[in-house]
Structure 1
Amino acid sequence: MVAGTLLALLAVAESITQAGGATALGSTESVPVGAMPMPSDDVPEAGSGPPLLFLVFPLLALATTLPLPLMWAQPVAAALLATGAGVLSILAFHTMTAAGLVAQLVTGYRFGRRGSPVAAVLVTVPYPLLAVLVPADQPDGRLRVYTLLLACLAPVAALTGIAVRVRGRTIADTAARQVIAESLVEHTARGERARIARELHDVVAHHISMVAVQAETARLAVPGMPAAGAERLLAIGDTARAALTEMRRLLGVLRADADEEAAWRPQPGLRLGELNELIDEARDASGTGTRLILRGTPVVLDPGVELAAYRIIQEALTNARRHAPGAAVDVELDYTGAELLLSVRDNGPGSGDAGGGHGLSGMRERAAAVGGELRTGPAPGGGFRVEARLPGKDEEAG
Structure 2
Amino acid sequence: MTFVERAYERRGGWAGAGRRIATGPHAPIVAGGAAALLAVAESIAHAGNTPSAGSTGTALYFVILPLLGLATTLPLALLWDQPAAAALVITGTVVLSLVAFQTMTVAALATQLLTAYRFGRGGPPAPAVCAAAPFPVLALAHPAGGETRVLTLLLASLAPAAVMAGIARRAHAEAAENRAARQVIAETLLENTARGERARIARELHDVVAHHISMVAVQAETARLATPGMPPAGAERLSAIGDTARAALTEMRRLLGVLRDDTAAADDTTAAAADRQPQPGLRELNELLDGSREVSKAATRLILRGPPFALDPGVELAAYRIVQEALTNARRHAPGAAVDVELDYTADALRLRIRDNGPGLSAAAPAGGHGLSGMRERAGAVGGELRAGPAADGGFLVEAHLPGKDETAA
Q: TM-score, normalised by structure 1?
A: 0.56
Which residue is 1:239 aligned to?
A: 244
Contact 2:73 2:107 in 1 (8 A): yes
CA–CA distance in structure 2, aligned partners of residues 59 and 48 of structure 1: 17
Match of 1:2 in 2: 30
Name 2:39's counterpart in structure 1: 11
Is residue 83 of structure 2 the alignment partner of residue 55 of structure 1?
Answer: no
Give the structure with higher Rg (CA). Answer: 1
Deviation string 1:1-60 (CA, Å, 9 cap, x unpaired) is: 22221211111121122222222xx45xxxxxxxxxxxxxxxx6xx78542111111111
Q: Which residue of 2 aligns with 1:20?
A: 48
Provide the C-alpha distance between the structure 1 equivalents of 2:166 and 2:208, rounded to a whole number of angstroms. 62
The AA in structure 2 aligned to 1:11 is: A
Query: What is the distance in 2 between the residues matched to 1:233 and 1:66?
Result: 95
Aligned residue in 1 for 2:97? 89
Say if 2:83 is the partner of 1:75: yes
Deviations 1:258-311 (A, max 9, x none): 9xxxxxxxxxxxxxxxxxxxxxxxxxxxxxxxxxxxxxxxxxxxxxxxxxxxxx
1:107 aligns with 2:109: no
Provide, for residues 354-378 of structure 1, a one-character-per-residue CA deviation record: whole Å limited to 9, x for no partner.
Answer: xxxxxxxxxxxxxxxxxxxxxxxxx
Structure 1's unaligned 5+ residue stretches are 28-43, 259-398
The match for 1:318 is: none
What is the one-letter code of the residue matched to 1:75? P
Correspondences of 1:375-390 after superposition (within 5 Å): none
Identity between Structure 1 and Structure 2 (%): 66
SS of 2:49's equivalent in the other structure is: helix
Superposition pairs of residues 146-295 of structure 1, within 5 angstroms = 146-256=151-261
Q: 1:130-177 CA distances to partner (integer Å, 9 max, x unpaired)?
A: 111112xx3x51121111111101111111111111111111221222
What letter is aligned with 1:162?
A: I
Query: What is the one-letter code of the residue matched to 2:41?
Result: A
Shift of 1:234: 2.3
CA–CA separation in structure 2 for the residues paired with 1:165 and 1:232: 75
Q: Which amino acid aligns with 1:142?
A: E
Distance 1:86 1:49 in 2: 21
Mapped to 2, the partners of 1:77 and 1:5 lie a distance apart of 18
Deviates more, 1:208-217 or 1:70-79: 208-217
3-state SS of 2:80 partner: coil
Which stretches of structure 1, 4 residues or more, deviate above 4 A after TM superposition? Answer: none
Q: CA deviation at 1:255?
A: 2.7
Equivalent pairs counted in the alignment come to 235
Structure 2 SS opposite 1:72: coil
CA distance in 1, matches of 2:241, 2:126: 80
Residue identity matched to 1:235 = A
| Residue identity matched to 2:48 | G
**RMSD of aligned C-alpha atoms?**
2.0
**AA paired with 1:17?**
A
Listed as ranges, the gaps of 5+ residues in structure 2 are 1-28, 264-410
Aligned with 1:142 (options 130, 139, 147): 147
- Structure 1 partner of 2:18: none
Deviations 1:301-348 (A, max 9, x none): xxxxxxxxxxxxxxxxxxxxxxxxxxxxxxxxxxxxxxxxxxxxxxxx
More helix by share: 2
Give per-residue Cα distances to partners, 1:153-205, cap 9 Å, x unaligned.
11111111111111111112212221221222122112211211221222211
Aligned AA (2:195)? R
- d(CA) in 1 for partners of 2:111, 2:66: 15
Q: Contact 2:68–2:93 (CA<8 Å) still a contact in 1? A: yes
Q: Structure 2 length normalisation: TM-score?
A: 0.54
The corresponding residue for 1:297 is none
Per-residue deviation at 1:226? 2.5
Report the alpha carbon displacement of residue 217 of structure 1 after superposing the two structures with TM. Answer: 2.5
Alpha-carbon separation, structure 2, partners of 1:243 and 1:9: 84
Task: Check conservation: 2:48, 2:58, Cα contact below 8 A.
Answer: no
Q: Which has the higher contact order (CA 8 A, sep 6+)?
A: 1
Measure, in 2, the Cα distance between the counterparts of 1:10 and 1:134. 24
- Structure 1 residue aligned with 2:135: 127
Aligned-partner Cα distance in 1 for 2:238–2:36: 99
